Structure 1
Amino acid sequence: MADVGAAGELESVRVTRILRDDIILGRRAPGSRLVERDIAAELEVSRLPVREAIRALVGEGIVIARPRTWAVVREFTARDIQDFGEVREAIETLIFVFAAQRHSDEGLARLRSAYEREVVAAEADDAEGARVAAAEFHEIAARLAGNEMLGELIGVFITRLRWLFGQHDDLPAMADEHRVILEAVAARDVDALRVLIPRHLASGQAAAESRLAARSSSR
């Protein structure tokens, strides 16, 4: 029988969620070891859900499995970031164009709510809150696009998308970019979005590359 926590959530799902958030939000640094025994003790679970969680995060692209040794948090290279950015630009531009064309009033309200939560968190210097809300902004747009295939494609890299937002330090600037995008979506201005989205994604990629360069120079 599967291990189930107090709230009815599978232990492996809970452990996966905790480790994913730890990695995305920088609590577990790139290159750090994920030792099953230690994590199991920390989270007060058996080693099996930890093993399953690590396997899931390998599939999501943020953990590297090393046979006969510890799994480690993935260290993204400049090429990784560039490759991700190229694919993401094409997919996310389509997502926001479709969201502009197809959104309902209720859907637009959800997008605006995510933006407003991001602003509040950014003004309070709550980096984790701002980054989580920023990722939700993009996830909601994907749902508003109303295209199942695009939803499946972004699902493949949603964890890496959230990781990328975790590299952004200028929280007010990121929120302001989302404000402009929100206004274009609300106005159904697809021509503006075809310019805004690549520019917005380029700023996130630049932040990730800057973080990577800083880590490399500190070694």
Structure 2
Amino acid sequence: MTTLPFRAGRGVPPLRDQVAGELRSRIADGRVAPGERLYEKAIADELGVSRLPVREAIRMLQSEGLVSVQPRRGVLVRRLNRQAVQDLFDVREALEVLAARLAAERADQAALRRLEELVEVGRRALDDGDDQAIAASNTAFHDSIYQLAGNALIPEVLDPLMGRLHWLFRQNVEPERVFLEHQELYRALAAHDPEQAADVALQHIRSSRRMVLEMLKD
């Protein structure tokens, strides 16, 4: 594997944050599978860092619920069972619907243009059949809704859950349905219709809940 350009210095995030971000990404997109063991030394060697930032990054992921540290087994990527997924969707229903309602009330034209660009990125990814790009655009779209709400507490409350939420956003076997619902939600936001935005967001989350729970049956 190629050593990644992880570095320390002014103007860049601490190494622990860079390593944690890389590991989150690998867990979210499936490069590191549920149940897989993480080895500090192997990660440190691959990323070209010492073991200390890797150890600190693993502690961060443990606090976020992405990994568990087990006696005699080491660090394992957590498997999200049906109840854990249900709990995540419950949180999404509470906060993402609120975020959509607030975004419809507060988002300015510049922010809406950026969201429209994300919708177009999603369309191109769908047309190209690029699963990685579809997953990335889905994640970016939802992250943007949290920011457009203009309520600093929403992303703050969700921050410890973002790794698990990003994993959730990538569980997508109905990409066309997901894209069309994103498009519908964008239109409600652009129309500054908070009730419609909240309703579309709620239906989108419930459709995705059904989809992911069906996937977990396999």
Q: Does 1:133 align with 2:137?
A: yes
| Aligned match of 1:122 | 126
When normalised by structure 1's length, the TM-score is 0.89
| Aligned match of 1:108 | 112
> Counterpart of 1:26 in structure 2: which amino acid?
G
- Aligned counterparts, 1:35-184, within 5 A: 35-184=39-188
Superposed CA offset, 1:174-208 (max 9, x none): 11110000001111122222321121112222232
CA contact (8 A) 1:164 1:205 kept: no
Secondary structure at the aligned position of 2:70 is classed as coil
| Aligned match of 1:217 | none
CA contact (8 A) 1:60 1:156 kept: yes
CA contact (8 A) 1:16 1:57 kept: yes
1:6 and 1:121 map into 2 onto residues whose CA distance is 35
> Counterpart of 2:59 in structure 1: which amino acid?
R
CA contact (8 A) 1:132 1:162 kept: no
1:24 and 1:96 map into 2 onto residues whose CA distance is 24
2:20 and 2:95 map into 1 onto residues whose CA distance is 26
Instruction: Report which stretch shifted further, 39-48 or 105-114.
Output: 39-48
Gaps of 5+ in 2: 1-6
CA contact (8 A) 2:62 2:68 kept: yes
2:19 and 2:107 map into 1 onto residues whose CA distance is 34
| Aligned match of 2:3 | none
Secondary structure at the aligned position of 1:65 is classed as strand
Identity %: 35
Secondary structure at the aligned position of 1:26 is classed as coil
State the Cα distance separating 1:8 from its structure 2 match: 4.4
Secondary structure at the aligned position of 1:64 is classed as strand
> Counterpart of 1:176 in structure 2: which amino acid?
L
Gaps of 5+ in 1: 215-219
Superposed CA offset, 1:2-37 (max 9, x none): x72799443322211111100000111111111112
1:6 and 1:210 map into 2 onto residues whose CA distance is 46
2:112 and 2:33 map into 1 onto residues whose CA distance is 35
| Aligned match of 1:195 | 199
When normalised by structure 2's length, the TM-score is 0.90
| Aligned match of 1:21 | 25
| Aligned match of 1:33 | 37
